[in-house]
């Protein structure tokens, strides 16, 4: 691979040469130069779209009088595609999308469980060899193609099922993720009570706190299980029970917020992220400062970071590191690809990849201090080891940490601040997932994008449908369904989708061509970009597929050996099978749509396969988004049947012969 500056100069010279050849093209047989006056419309050019099979008469190009319009129907003009108002909107949207609840309630727990500071070694190895390459692949694919997760596979129609699979995964994630925001709303509203309803100072908790001999649950656990979830009134997955209407109102409010923020697409959500993406950092900083002043906080931090080198030989540690990197970056769901599709063509995706991925991992490490400093104080107050109060997932966010906050002076203020932070983290991540769904649908049905009324109606129906489906998750037994969808929606199906994306781009589309596409976009990047492209190229071809295969193998082994459970409840076989079917449905889209793509072609099976991996004619026309004015843009080629536009010369053979003899 040549240095990036040389490739850019060659690309620009080639474009200039092509532009000059277009301007001096000579009509066949008469030596007359074809006119390129932009104010004169060629008969074969309609609505700015030039068919690849159109025949243009030389006479029609040299006539000065206007030509009668062609009787052929003009193809519908594509509505203009929105772009980010600035590069900071895109960066903040991606950071808000990646920095989610998992950074706060999952990474610190995995860190202490897997050897403390030693966990950072496999964590950053997986970041550099799996997270960054896949993140760059999604951003580059979306930005170069200027299309969503389905339409972007014009680059390789055989793999269109990857985009459909991403859409299925995103639907499942949106279905249960907004339930977390509904829980956050409930806790946020309850935080305005003094004393907090899950603290020992509340009147209804005084008998529970005084009876320390037969206590099986803390006040925070009672509030979570009885007041919020109502799980004590359900027997299991088969017994969902009635809808909990306070949570139903919170879920409705959550979807209304999402609808209003996404009403104008990235023009509205791009402004909201200035608050939602930055506010959590302010809260984390405040919590770290407050935690550092508490007695016992150093014990919590020591528990968080104390290294245990023996854990490096455990395969579970490496799998946890890979899964945390994979899921925290939001790879393979379509959100990154969709957000990148609204970038300018010459945006530096390599720079953005480094900033977002390193910032995301730094936030996870940073959040661990805020969590364990206060949990250390809680353990000191109770006189128990830190390990007995540490937890992961909803158990940390809605049980352990609220209980710790209730012990602080000014607990109402700290509780409001914490749950407001969780709300911001959840909303940002949901923005990305919803954007992936909306972009995919609007790219397939462009009329939705051009008509604000239709777009608003579509978004309203989509949010309302998610609300109705989400009601199952806020019943008495809804937490069992929540855990089932959470466990399998982003499990093996998502890994398989991402593995095929990596293999398809590297070997079907061509890793060299993909690297050249990146070069075409970032010609003004410093020289170190070239060296990084060599590194990413090696990852896409070798390291990343190998590590994804390792993760996938481990997931299948663990799925076979272990049972799914929530607390003491063990899921029945039919429940686990239902979860496997959800994951399988997502990844089977790859096979189904590959068969469809091959069946649409003609010839032998080998010919059909080769045709189905070729990019469509309209794949490389999206670089018109570039702001470089002197860059040559190839006329758009329409993916349609063979057409010929006839002119007057075709009906006046005498004139044609006379011109030819002249």
Binding residues for Na(+), as ranges, are 96, 99, 103, 328, 360, 425, 428
Find the length of the chain.
662
Q: For residue 359, give both structure tokens.
A: 């910032």
What are the start-end ranges of the H helices in 24-115?
58-62, 87-98, 101-105, 107-113
Count CA atoms within 13 Å of residue 21 on its CB side: 9
Residue 71: CB atoms within 10 Å = 7
Burial letters 328-357, b for 16+ CB under 10 A, else e: bbbbbbbbbbbbbbbbebbbbbbbbbeebb
State phi, psi for 191 to the nearest 5 degrees.
-70, -15
Which residues line the annotated binding site?
96, 99, 103, 328, 360, 425, 428
Rounded Cα distance between 464 and 530, Å, is 47
**CA distances (Å), 415 to each of 196, 201, 287, 307, in order?**
9, 15, 11, 31
Both tokens of 134, joined, read: 């896949």
Sign for the CA dihedral angle at 304, 309, 314, 317 comes to positive
278-285 CB contacts, 8 Å cutoff, 24+ apart: 278/92, 279/420, 279/421, 279/424, 280/99, 280/421, 280/424, 280/425, 281/363, 283/417, 283/418, 283/420, 283/421, 284/363, 284/366, 284/367, 284/370, 284/421
Q: Give the 3-state secondary structure of residue 570.
A: strand
Cα torsion for 259, 260, 261, 265, to the nearest 10°?
70
Q: Which residue has the tokens 């030596």?
A: 31
Most distant pair of Cα atoms in the chain: their distance: 111
Packing angle of the helix pair 160-190, 478-489 (nearest 10 deg): 140
Tell me the three-class secondary structure of 429-440, residue by residue: HHHHHHHHHHHH
Q: Are 375 and 88 in contact (CB under 8 A)?
A: no
Place of tokens 């071809």: 541
Name the one residue in this structure whose structure tokens are 């030693």: 118
* Crossing angle (nearest 10°) for helices 411-444 and 266-276: 160
């Amino acid at each position: 691979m040549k240095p990036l500056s040389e490739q850019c100069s060659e690309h620009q010279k080639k474009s200039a040469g092509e532009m000059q050849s277009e301007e001096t093209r000579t009509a066949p047989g008469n030596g007359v130069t074809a006119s390129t006056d932009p104010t004169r419309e060629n008969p074969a050019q309609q609505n700015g779209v030039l068919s690849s099979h159109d025949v243009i008469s030389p006479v029609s190009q040299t006539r000065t009088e206007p030509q009668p319009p062609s009787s052929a129907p003009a193809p519908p003009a594509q509505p203009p595609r929105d772009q980010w108002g600035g590069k900071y909107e895109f960066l903040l949207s991606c950071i808000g999308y990646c920095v989610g609840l998992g950074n706060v309630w999952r990474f610190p727990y995995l860190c202490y469980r897997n050897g403390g500071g030693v966990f950072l070694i496999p964590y950053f190895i997986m970041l550099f060899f799996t997270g960054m390459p896949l993140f760059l692949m999604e951003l580059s694919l979306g930005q170069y193609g200027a299309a969503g997760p389905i339409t972007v596979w014009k680059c390789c129609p055989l793999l269109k099922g990857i985009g459909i699979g991403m859409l299925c995964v995103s639907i499942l994630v949106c279905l249960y993720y907004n339930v977390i925001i509904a829980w956050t709303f409930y806790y946020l509203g309850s935080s305005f009570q003094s004393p907090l309803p899950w603290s020992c100072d509340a009147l209804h908790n005084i008998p529970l706190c005084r009876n320390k001999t037969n206590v099986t649950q803390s006040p925070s656990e009672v509030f979570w299980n009885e007041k919020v979830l109502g799980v004590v009134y359900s027997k299991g997955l088969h017994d969902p029970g009635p809808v909990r209407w306070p949570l139903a109102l919170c879920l409705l409010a959550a979807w209304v917020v999402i609808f209003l923020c996404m009403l104008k697409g990235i023009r509205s959500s791009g402004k909201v992220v200035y608050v939602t993406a930055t506010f959590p950092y302010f809260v984390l900083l405040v919590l770290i400062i407050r935690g550092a002043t508490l007695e016992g906080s150093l014990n919590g931090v020591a528990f968080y970071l104390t290294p245990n080198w023996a854990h490096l030989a455990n395969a579970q540690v490496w799998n946890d590191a890979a899964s945390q990197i994979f899921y925290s970056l939001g790879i393979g769901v379509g959100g990154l690809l969709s957000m990148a599709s609204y970038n300018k063509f010459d945006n530096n995706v390599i720079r953005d990849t480094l900033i977002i991925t390193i910032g995301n991992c730094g936030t996870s490490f940073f959040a661990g201090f805020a969590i364990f400093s206060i949990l250390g104080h809680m353990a000191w107050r109770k006189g128990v080891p830190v390990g007995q109060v540490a937890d992961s997932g909803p158990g940390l966010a809605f049980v352990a940490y609220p209980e710790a906050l209730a012990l602080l002076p000014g607990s109402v203020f700290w509780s409001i601040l914490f749950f407001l932070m969780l709300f911001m983290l959840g909303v940002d991540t949901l923005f990305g997932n919803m954007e992936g769904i909306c972009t995919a649908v609007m790219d397939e049905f462009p009329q939705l994008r051009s008509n604000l009324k239709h777009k608003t109606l579509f978004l309203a129906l989509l949010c309302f449908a998610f609300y109705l489906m989400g009601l199952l998750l806020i019943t008495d037994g809804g937490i069992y369904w929540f855990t089932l969808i959470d466990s399998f929606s982003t499990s093996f199906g998502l890994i398989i989708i991402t593995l095929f994306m990596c293999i398809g781009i590297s070997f079907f589309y061509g890793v060299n061509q993909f690297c050249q596409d990146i070069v075409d976009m970032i010609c003004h990047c410093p020289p170190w970009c070239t060296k990084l492209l060599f590194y990413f190229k090696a990852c896409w071809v070798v390291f990343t597929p190998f590590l994804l295969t390792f993760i996938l193998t481990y997931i299948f082994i663990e799925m076979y050996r272990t049972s799914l459970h929530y607390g003491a409840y063990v899921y029945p076989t039919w429940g686990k099978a239902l979860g496997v079917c959800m994951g399988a449905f997502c990844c089977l889209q790859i096979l189904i749509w590959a068969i469809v793509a091959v069946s649409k072609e003609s010839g032998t099976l080998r010919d059909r396969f080769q045709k189905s991996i070729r990019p469509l004619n309209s794949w490389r026309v999206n670089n018109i988004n570039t702001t470089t004015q002197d860059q040559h843009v190839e006329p758009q080629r329409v993916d349609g049947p063979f057409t010929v536009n006839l002119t007057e010369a075709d009906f006046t053979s005498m004139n044609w012969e006379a011109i030819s003899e002249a």
